[in-house]
A and B are shown apart, each in its own frame.
Chain A
Amino acid sequence: MIDPSLTLESPQALPARRRSGLCRRLWRGLRKAPWSARFGLLVILLFGLAALFAPWLAPYGESQIVGSEFEPWGASFLLGTDNLGRDMLTRLLYGGRNTLGIVLLATCLAFLLGGVAGLLAAVRGGWTDQLLSRLVDVLMAIPQLIFALLLLTFFGTSIPMLIAIIAVLDSTRVFRLTRAVASGVVALDFVEAARLRGEGTAWIMFREVLPNILPPLVAEFGLRFCFTFLFISALSFLGLGIQPPTADWGSMVRDNATLITYGDITPLLPAAAIALLTIGVNFVVDWFLHLTSGLRDEH
């Protein structure tokens, strides 16, 4: 579900010849990928499948109370029950489905917003660029978590609001990157040629510039996905993100944290799931950057 290289843009944006080239390069790279990247891909695949098929995999209903509180691991409740007597494994599966869906939606929206604005700023230049860039500067001057908390006070915590707030805040980062990489491409001769040919702004943005800045954007998508995932989990953990009774990994840690003081590791499972997925995505992004190297090397 979330191989980041497949979800970012429709493949039609790339000319056919280049697309097959990129696919072949990815496939060749995959065959000699390091163990860390293979591990990452496997984790992403497993999480994706679990999220997609959660209703069929889960033994009970999402918020169905099936036993007493904090039952230990056993045959009928594989991972025990939570603070309200709901099955832990079921909550874990549904939580993954809910969190992944919300994060994916927020990240896609952020890329749509930030990417289009960034391309527009780079291609149009002039006052469009100035206006957008200064706006983003101001928005980025406030720490993201603090800004999100402020906006959540304004709007209240509902899932559509949460997605919108995170998408807008995240799009500022996407804007910066897109604008920076795109302005390098805009200065090249073939863009000038397209301009002289009389192509419109939209054509230049999506047919001339976008295909040439895809690799760094795809890598950024992976990193942003991780960041948003951690961010939403942190908000839910604080009790300000995804609200009960909807299952979610961040709030599951919070609700069951008392068990930790008795030396029980069950509440750490959702947190470990978050960590595992973000590590997986990070490994894949690391490898992808290495594969398309020369574009960006952060370490």
Chain B
Amino acid sequence: MKQTLTKMLLQRLALGGLSLLAVSLIILLGVSFLPGDIATEILGQSATPQAVAALRESLGLDQPLYLRYFHWLAALLHGDFGQSLANGRQIAELLAVRLPNTLWLAALAAVVAVPLALGLGFLAAIWRNGFFDRCVNVATLSFISFPEFFLAYLLILLLSVKAGWLPSLASVDPSQPLSERLLQMALPALTLTLVVVAHMMRMTRAALINLLASPYIEMARLKGVPRWRVILRHALPNAWAPIINVVVINLAYLVVGVVVVEAVFVYPGMGQLMVDSVKKRDLPVVQACSLVFAATYILLNLTADLLSVLSNPRLRHPR
């Protein structure tokens, strides 16, 4: 059994590494498999042949595919993401400023959202089909249906314009003290929290209800075990795997969800950088951002996989 555990963990790790590799291939080389020439596409039909040739060279399009990929990979490993087409700045410098901002925002939202969602999900599962459950069901279904920018502007209107409690634009810079920074980030973090809590709570509830329907739980109930004890002693050990999954899937969602929220609050993070670069068709920056976002997403999913294998009681306590 111990061997199966190690083998499963290694398998998951290998799969994660493989998908990272495949994704980096798509992001970096996808351009070459597309019909037409990306350099002409970016510069427009009226560009001079010299300009197109110069752009092709700076994008590395004149090299053979495998060479280009290995150059890229080698540079990446040295922390060199290349240069922005729009302003010639080092992409690594841009990321060094933007990435921590985004991680801060996501972390703040997660710290509030995870306990809240798990708590609500537990309660809804215990009082299934009761008044509380139905209210929470309708409320979360509505929150999921709202576009993120709707929630964001609604919060701006209520908490910033009408009540005047929080700033409507998140202007953060490193010199601010922590309290000031948290205040600036309050509205974007709150928006993200609301969106994620709805998803996470529904998934927690579904996972628990699924589990509570299994025969061994019914057996425990028939035996006369009190309700809270059934949940804590019988259900919870087996519920960890699905719950960890729910949390991590939503954290991954959060990392992507920041894109829209950052745009609303003009928050200087990765999402803003990426959207601006897409508008300018600044390919190297978009590629770098995609790579960072995709890598975070894959690593989070990999963590979920590993943790759910590790938390499986049948694998941890071999007979």
Contact = CB atoms under 8 A, between A and B. Distances in A.
Interface of A: 36, 137-138, 141-147, 149-150, 152-156, 226, 230, 233-234, 237-240, 250, 253-254, 257, 260-263, 265, 267-268, 271-272, 274-275, 278-279, 282-283, 286, 297-299
A159 B88 CA distance: 31
Contact of B149 (A142, A146, A234): A234
Interface string B283-299: 10011011001100110
Contacts of B34: 154-155
A36 B263 CA distance: 33
> Closest 3 interchain pairs by CB?
A271-B150, A278-B145, A279-B145
Contacts of A253: 149-150, 153
B256 A146 contact: yes
Given A142-B294, A282-B144, A298-B206, 10 more contacts: A141-B23, A146-B256, A153-B286, A237-B263, A253-B149, A253-B153, A257-B153, A275-B150, A278-B146, A279-B145
Contacts of A137: 19
Nearest to B290: A150
A282 B259 contact: no
21 contacts: A137-B19, A138-B23, A138-B26, A142-B294, A146-B274, A149-B286, A149-B290, A150-B27, A153-B281, A155-B34, A233-B147, A234-B149, A237-B149, A238-B275, A253-B149, A254-B149, A260-B157, A261-B161, A278-B145, A286-B141, A299-B206
A297 B283 CA distance: 42
Given A143-B294, A153-B286, A279-B141, A238 B23 contact: no
A144 B157 CA distance: 30
B297 A142 contact: yes
A146 B252 CA distance: 12
A282 B140 CA distance: 11
Interface string B224-265: 000000000000000000000000000010011001100110
B178 interface: no
A237 B260 contact: yes
Contacts of A275: 142, 145-147, 150
B60 to A, nearest CB: 16
A154 B38 contact: yes
Which of A36, A153, A250, A278 counts the most chain B CB atoms within 10 A?
A: A153
Given A155-B34, A260-B161, A143 B145 contact: no
A156 B45 CA distance: 13
Nearest to A253: B149
B92 to A, nearest CB: 19
A105 to B, nearest CB: 20
A149 B278 contact: yes
Contact of A141 (B22, B154, B205): B22
Interface of B: 19, 22-23, 26-27, 30-31, 34, 38, 41, 137-138, 141-142, 144-150, 153-154, 156-157, 161-162, 168, 202, 205-206, 252, 255-256, 259-260, 263-264, 274-275, 277-279, 281-283, 286-287, 289-290, 293-294, 297-298, 301
A143 B23 contact: no
A143 B255 contact: yes
Contacts, number: 141
Nearest to B15: A137
A159 to B, nearest CB: 17
Contacts of B146: 271, 274-275, 278
A30 to B, nearest CB: 20
Nearest to A281: B145
B168 A261 contact: yes
A299 to B, nearest CB: 6
Given A149-B274, A156-B41, A257-B153, A141 B19 contact: yes
B199 to A, nearest CB: 12
Given A230-B147, A275-B147, A149 B275 contact: yes
Contacts of B263: 237-238
Contacts of A233: 147
A265 B153 CA distance: 9
Given A263-B161, A271-B150, A138 B22 contact: yes
A143 B278 contact: no
A283 B41 contact: no
Contacts of A234: 147-149, 260
Given A149-B290, A261-B161, A271 B153 contact: yes
Nearest to A297: B206
A299 B146 CA distance: 18
Given A141-B22, A142-B294, A299-B205, A283 B141 contact: yes
Contacts of B298: 141
A141 B41 CA distance: 27
